[in-house]
Structure 1
Amino acid sequence: MRVVVATHNAHKVAELQRILEQQLPGIQLEAYDGPAPVEDGGTFAANALIKARAAAAHTGLPAIADDSGVSVEALGGEPGVDSAHYSGRRDDRANLRLVLTNLADEKHRVAAFTCAAALVDPGDDPVFEHVELGVWPGTIARAEAGVGGFGYDPIFVPEGHEVTSAELTADEKNAISHRARAFTALAAVLRNRYR
Structure 2
Amino acid sequence: MNTERGDDSVEQETASADQVTEQPQAPRQAVLMILAAVLVYILDLVTKVIIVSTMAGHEPIKLLGGLFYLQLIRNSGAAYSMGSGMTWVFTIIAAAVVVAMVWILPRLRSVGWAIGLGFVLAGALGNLTDRVFRAPGGFQGHVVDFISAFAPNAEKFPVFNFADAGITIGAVFIIVTALLGRDYNGTSTRKAKKVAE
TM over 0.5: no
Q: Which has the higher contact order (CA 8 A, sep 6+)?
A: 2
Q: In proportion to residue count, which structure has more helix?
A: 2
